[in-house]
Amino acid sequence: MYVLGISRVHDSAAALVRDGEIVAFAEEERFSRVKHDGRFPGGAINSCLDQAGITLAEVDHVAFYWQRWPEVAHAARVFARYFPGTLEVFRNRREGGVRSAGWRETWRHGGGSGGVDDFHVGGAVLAHVKRTYTIGQEIRDAVGHTGPTRFKVHLIDHHRAHAASAFYVSPFDSAAVLTMDGVGSDGTSTCLAVAHGDKISDLRRVKYPHSLGAMYAIITGYLGFHPTVDEGKVMGLAPFGSGAYVDQFADLVHLDPDGGFELNLSWFRHHVNGRHLVSRKFLDTFGPPRPRTKVTRDNPISQHYMDIAYALQATLERAGLHLARWLHGRTGLPRLAVAGGVALNSVMNGRILRETPFEEFFAQPAAADDGSALGAALEVSVGRYGRPRPTEGFIYTGPEFGEDRMERALADAGVPYQRMDDIAAHTAAALADGLIVGWFQGRMECGPRALGNRSLLADPRDPEAKTRMNEKVKHREAFRPFAPSCLAERAGEYFEGDHPSPVMLLVSDVLEHQRDRVPAITHVDGTARVQTVSRDDNPLYHRLIERFAELTGVPMLMNTSFNDNDEPIVCTPEDAVACFRKTDVDALALGPFWVRKEAGV
């Protein structure tokens, strides 16, 4: 039984599940080359069908990550609950008082080109309703299918899709499940659940406008970054701040003893205008927002805004710990599975694992809305039709390419190359010599983190590697850290704790006596967002790190995603060659082929 899962609006994606197997799963941005592409995932759907070797006629079910009428009902409740303040939606203004796209443009295209808040609130609700009716035809149009189809469309509760994306691919027979994001199809922002076998049961839900995801996104915008996109930047910025505003920020979120929370809405405006905006009270207390300008050496972030980021992160962690502790107390289970965009906050995740009674933790790499395409498919396959749960293959789920395609991409670009007998050994030696290498191998990983198949790699011992990678290769802010990919069997030599972290969603302390040895991956607060690499998960990447360890004694590499800052992670060999040529990457390992950039090129 084939089930095609689809998500859109934020990081659109498609997934194809066949009984107990994840056949394929990928984000639309990888094919359209538009970062965070929220349009209909036609490219991802085509890729899923191609990888399965089937046509749309063979798909039995389509699972969409959003429900129709619960959103309308919740929107009406919010409008009535906060009336007359909600009359502000009719002004249709976003940050700076700029007029947003009208309802017709939002109905037809999802909004304007002015960012995540460039939409009409009523038009967005109507557009979501429309999509639930047109999804079948949109799929047919996207793949060019004109023949008969047999698939049945299922509209899946958004937070159930998140929960299914985590629990059903986890190794747990039973677990507590925690999902957190901005808002779901019925208004849910946080769901606390328990799962056994093939059944997930809600314990309680917290609904918008009380939303940790919305809070973090709103203040991300206040800090001069893009809400719903740049929250990871704020997480990386936070350790540069101090606790100056932590006590004041405690008033933003009030924790309930029954496992819930409420935002103090006097600090925000999202509940009355649908946009990511703070209130006048917030501005009077903490000052004007930072202008949305690029952070550079000549335009640094002031300490004030670093302190705001610190307070925001501390507030989120306090709430996340509260929810997890309540969930453990209610379920008594030692295992926790998490999903939703807030679950990408690996610092919070690390504290939940260390500071709550949970003994085991699981998140799949695409924890945000992209992963809800996979979760929707699994909720139909496992939750509704009782098919087996997947037992492996949830990380490297994208397309892979043969050597002929790789060699043709190099030849078409006019790039001289060599074929290596042992690409892992050759690359390890180059890294030990200080080169930055683009590493392109096997099936593409899913989610926002490079996990060893579409990676830019460097020597973690080199204190200049981080600066060079940020400034010359990735062209991104200097405060952002880089992650280590460490041999799973040796991670305890460098990092506190021994919990596996194969998808880079747990932050750990670097052992103090090792920090000077691996400065490129040690953040300013002495932490690192670790990926543990096992031989079973990725044999070639594991062998590369082993070879590097044999040469240097250090069992890890500095790893970041293979892309320039304004682009998605590379997908095809052609993408990899193009990124290699336009950035200051020194060398490229494209399958077994090796390319070394000449000096000055």
Give me the phi and psi of 550, to 5 degrees please.
-65, -35
Count other Cβ atoms within 10 Å, centred on residue 467. Answer: 12
Q: Which residue has the tokens 């060019």?
A: 144
The torsion angles phi and psi of 107, rounded to 5 degrees, stand at -60, -40
Identify the helix (H) or strand (E) that includes residue 108.
Answer: helix 103-109
Q: What Rg value do the Cα atoms of the chain yield, rounded? A: 23
Q: At what angle do helices 346-355 and 303-331 cross, to 10 degrees?
A: 40
Residue 203, CB half-sphere, CA atoms under 13 Å: how many? 22
Contacts of 432 by beta carbon, 8 Å cutoff, 6+ apart: 459, 548, 551, 552
| Distance of alpha carbon 462 from alpha carbon 458, whole angstroms | 8
Is residue 459 within 8 Å of residue 434, measured between CB atoms? yes
Instruction: Give the distance, in angstroms, between the CA of residue 149 and the centroid of all CA atoms in the same chain.
Output: 33
Picking from 112, 94, 116, 113, the residue whose alpha carbon sits closest to that of residue 103 is: 112
3-state SS, 513-549, equals HHCCCCHHHCCCCCEEECEEECCCCCHHHHHHHHHHH
Helices (H), 10-68: 29-32, 42-52
Distance CA 376, CA 211 (A): 22
State both tokens at 496.
């506190």
Tokens found for residue 131? 């999509």
Contact 526, 514 (CB under 8 A): no
Instruction: Indicate the DSSP class of residue 134.
Output: H
- Whose structure tokens read 């808002």? 183
- Of 467, 460, 511, 512, nearest to 486 by C-alpha is 460
CA distance 321 to 212: 13
| Catalytic option among 10, 36, 128, 158 | 10
Q: Taking a C-beta distance cutoff of 8 angstroms, is the pair 183, 216 a contact?
A: no
Q: How far apart are CA 536 and CA 558, in angstroms?
A: 21
Q: Are the beta carbons of 353 and 506 closer than 8 angstroms?
A: yes
Helix (H) or strand (E) holding 580: helix 573-582
The reply to whether 10 belongs to the active site is yes
Catalytic machinery residues: 10
